[in-house]
């Protein structure tokens, strides 16, 4: 399932979920802005943070302009270009005489982000797993949230803060960053930027700690976010532990919580569990590795994702050190 969410519709549908959608998203690469700020600014850390926020504010405004342009372009299309969307109530609110804008105005214009963790490393030398990093993270997310609320009122369109999946951008943005700034420890020493405001995948934190950290930021997002924890396949023998984790996430107000468990299947005998390259049942090597890499289940992530995302998956640690 996709992490996209519909916030409150300013054009009359309120919290209606069905028949609306994410019309256009754009993602801001936070580490690049942080590097630009750091290169340009001379002064102390608080000054740098403020300078960064003012630059980010400009980029958020540019992003808004870009989204409006795209929205207008999409609205200028004929309903015939995607006929099914305007039939059978797929898109709520469609009034033929008014054009497709009548339906699309209920959707979301999403302002996304990539690499909060690396951005914080550049600015202050730690990420939001530390209290100091979390403080700055909240200032960044508050800026996003405030601007989206203002744009929503001003343009009567549903701007929202989006914690972008960035399946491909995590890699392509990093490649560009490395070409410009080289390898910086904790920032660009990998092939991918960390997903949205997630805790970096290689950090040794428990499920509870991961939920504690990310739940402090999920509330800033109205256009969608996901929090996932990685657990070993063996957790299926421990439903009590699963229940504890899920209840904890719900108590912490995580809007969309996911537990990732590897499901590997032997294509020779059908045996299913977490395996490496050999089936413990029949010794076969024809193993399909089903993984939830982003929102969706993916057969063989090796084929489905670029090398940045593959490395990200391989660097994921299990958050399993919970009490059973």
Residues 6+ apart with CB under 8 A from 23: 71, 74, 104, 107, 108, 109
Helix (H) or strand (E) holding 241: helix 239-251
Of the ranges 33-41, 60-68, 109-117, 270-278, which one interacts with Zn ion (CB under 5 A)? 270-278
Binding mask 277-306 for Zn ion (x = CB under 5 A): --x-xx-x----------------------
Residues 6+ apart with CB under 8 A from 266: 272, 275, 279, 281, 282, 284, 286, 287
Nearest approach, Cβ of 51 to Zn ion (angstroms)? 58
Tokens at 207, concatenated = 């499920």
- Contacting residue, 92, 146, 212, 268, with Zn ion by CB under 5 A: 268
Q: What are phi and psi of 25, to 5 degrees?
A: -110, 150
Nearest approach, Cβ of 279 to Zn ion (angstroms)? 3
Using CB under 5 A, count the residues that bind Zn ion: 8
- The alpha carbons of the chain give a radius of gyration, in whole angstroms, of 21
The Cα 99–Cα 76 span in angstroms is 8
Buried-exposed string 79-94: b where 16+ CB fall within 10 A, e elsewhere: eeeeeeebeeeebbbb
Specify the DSSP class assigned to residue 151: H
Nearest approach, Cβ of 300 to Zn ion (angstroms)? 16
- Contacting residue, 2, 95, 183, 269, with Zn ion by CB under 5 A: 269
Of the ranges 64-72, 119-127, 205-213, 274-282, which one interacts with Zn ion (CB under 5 A)? 274-282
Of the ranges 56-64, 173-181, 268-276, 309-317, which one interacts with Zn ion (CB under 5 A)? 268-276
Nearest approach, Cβ of 286 to Zn ion (angstroms)? 8
Instruction: Please say which residue, 154 or 278, places its beta carbon nearer to Zn ion.
Output: 278
Say if CB 305 and CB 299 are below 8 A apart: no
Specify the DSSP class assigned to residue 14: B
Of the ranges 121-129, 215-223, 260-268, 307-315, which one interacts with Zn ion (CB under 5 A)? 260-268
Instruction: Please say which residue, 36 or 273, places its beta carbon nearer to Zn ion.
Output: 273
Nearest approach, Cβ of 233 to Zn ion (angstroms)? 15
The Cα 137–Cα 5 span in angstroms is 21
Q: How many other CB atoms sit within 10 Å of the CB of residue 289? A: 18
Tokens at 187, concatenated = 């920032």
Say if CB 233 and CB 263 are below 8 A apart: yes
Residue 266 is a binding residue for Zn ion (CB under 5 A): yes
Nearest approach, Cβ of 265 to Zn ion (angstroms)? 9
Of the ranges 45-53, 154-162, 190-198, 263-271, which one interacts with Zn ion (CB under 5 A)? 263-271
The Cα 29–Cα 10 span in angstroms is 28
Instruction: Please say which residue, 269 or 317, places its beta carbon nearer to Zn ion.
Output: 269
Tokens at 213, concatenated = 């950290």
Of the ranges 12-20, 244-252, 272-280, 287-295, which one interacts with Zn ion (CB under 5 A)? 272-280
Nearest approach, Cβ of 314 to Zn ion (angstroms)? 23
Residue 267 is a binding residue for Zn ion (CB under 5 A): no
Site residues for Zn ion, 154-193, by CB under 5 A, read none
- Contacting residue, 41, 155, 181, 271, with Zn ion by CB under 5 A: 271
Residue 130 is a binding residue for Zn ion (CB under 5 A): no
Point out which residues bind Zn ion (CB under 5 A).
Answer: 266, 268-269, 271, 279, 281-282, 284
């Amino acid at each position: 399932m996709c992490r996209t969410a519909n916030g409150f519709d300013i054009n009359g549908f309120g919290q209606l979920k069905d028949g609306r959608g994410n019309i256009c998203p754009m993602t801001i690469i936070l580490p690049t802005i942080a590097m630009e700020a750091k290169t340009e600014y001379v002064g102390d850390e608080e000054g740098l943070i403020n300078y960064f926020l003012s630059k980010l504010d400009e980029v958020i405004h540019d992003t808004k302009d870009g989204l409006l342009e795209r929205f207008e372009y999409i609205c200028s299309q004929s309903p015939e270009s995607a006929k099914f969307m305007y039939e059978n109530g797929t898109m709520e609110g469609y009034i033929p005489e008014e054009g497709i804008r009548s339906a699309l105005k209920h959707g979301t214009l999403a302002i996304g982000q990539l690499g909060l963790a690396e951005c914080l490393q550049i600015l202050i030398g730690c990420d939001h797993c530390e209290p100091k990093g979390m403080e700055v993270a909240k200032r960044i997310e508050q800026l996003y949230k405030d601007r989206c609320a203002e744009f929503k009122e001003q343009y009567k369109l549903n701007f929202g803060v989006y914690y972008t999946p960035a399946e491909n951008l995590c890699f392509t943005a990093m490649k560009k960053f490395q070409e410009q700034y080289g390898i910086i420890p904790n920032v660009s020493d990998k092939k991918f930027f960390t997903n949205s405001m997630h805790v970096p995948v290689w950090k040794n934190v428990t499920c509870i700690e991961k939920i504690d950290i990310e739940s402090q930021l999920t509330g800033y997002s109205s256009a969608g976010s996901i929090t996932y924890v990685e657990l070993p396949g063996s957790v299926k023998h421990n439903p009590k532990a699963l229940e504890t984790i899920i209840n904890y996430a719900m108590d912490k107000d995580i809007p969309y919580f996911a537990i990732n468990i590897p499901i590997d299947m032997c294509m020779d005998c059908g045996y299913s569990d977490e395996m490496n390259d050999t089936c413990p049942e029949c010794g076969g090597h024809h193993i399909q590795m089903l993984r939830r890499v982003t929102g969706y289940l993916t057969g063989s992530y090796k084929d489905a994702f670029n090398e940045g995302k593959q490395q990200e998956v391989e660097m994921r640690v299990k958050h399993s050190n919970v009490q059973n």
